[in-house]
Structure formats: C-alpha cells, structure tokens
Amino acid sequence: MVNTSSNQPVSFSQDTQLVAELVALLEREQAHLVKADVAAIEAVLEEKSLLLQRLNLAAKSRYQQLQAHGFQSNEAGMTAWVETQAKKEIKAAWMQFQKSLAQAKELNRLNGVLISKHFNRNQELLNHLQGNNDANSVYGPDGQAKPKGPSRSGLIV
C-alpha cells in the first residue's frame, strides 16, 4: 500500500550532486596516485571521508522520505518508487544516477589497484633495503622459478 499523503516529496537530487562530486574526487585521487603525490592523496582521503558521510546522510534522508510514502526504506523501495512515477525524466535521472554510482565504484576499484601496486612496490623496496630481497622471492634474477633447496623439516634416516 502506497501512501502519497506525505508533505515531503521523495528526491534523490542531493544524492546525485554528491555522487557527481565523488566521481570528480575519485578522478582527482587517481591522478594523485599516478603521480605518487602522497600529500595530495592524504588530503583527498580526508575530503573523501567527509563526502561519503554526507552521501550516507542524504541516502538516509531519502530512505525516510520513501518510508513516509509507504515504500521500503532501501534501494529496492527507491526503484519501486521510481517505477510509480509518471514523469519519464525521473526514470531517466534515476538511471543516470545508477550509472554515476557504477562509475564511482569502478573508479574506487581502480584506485584500490593503484594503491595496492604502490604498496607492493614500497614493500619490495623495503625488503631490498633490509637485505631481504631474495628471502621470499619465488623467481630468480633471470625470471625463472627458483628451485627450493633441501628442507630441514624432513626425517633423517
């Protein structure tokens, strides 16, 4: 049963703006990761944390609006609400919002890959500086798999 008597309309315009800001921020973060600009990355991380908090609050507000209109207070309820709307613009805006969310998720995934690569490179450099560069290597300097030496854990007969 859908209640349409609530005085506050369901809206995702604030969410849309915040996701657009998030996409731009993730693109900036990616540029800083490519340049390995640690100071800029740290600043972006703080900004990203605050933006995600704002996005979370906007989603909670939207869920409350949905519930007041008799829909589930989640994304399934939002999709159901959009389907009940007569204006094609609302459906198109919701689809665009979903695409922007997918873009943000993909950018975040790629940034995670870049962070992982930086971490691995730094770990290799630290191992080299500490003289542990061959201790845990699987491959030799020629790129071939290194044979493992005799194990001391075997039984001696």
Q: Where are the domains of the chain?
A: 13-129
Contact present, 80 and 71 (Cβ < 8 Å): yes
- Which residues contact residue 93 at a Cβ distance below 8 angstroms, ignoring those fewer than 6 apart? 12, 16
Query: Each residue of 43-66: pLDDT tens digit?
Result: 999 999 999 999 999 999 999 999
Distance between start and end Cα atoms, the chain: 80
CATH: 1.20.58.300, 3.10.20.30, 3.40.50.12780, 1.10.3720.10. Which one for 13-129? 1.20.58.300
Question: How high is the pLDDT of residue 86?
Answer: 87
At 15, the amino acid letter reads: D
Classify burial at 19, counting beta carbons within 10 Å of its beta carbon; exposed 0-12, middle 13-18, buried 19 or more. buried
**DSSP 8-state secondary structure symbol assigned to residue 8:** S
Which residues in the chain come in under a pLDDT of 70?
1-7, 133-143, 145-157
Amino acid at 26: L
Residue-level pLDDT at 136 = 53
Q: Are 77 and 63 in contact (CB under 8 A)?
A: yes
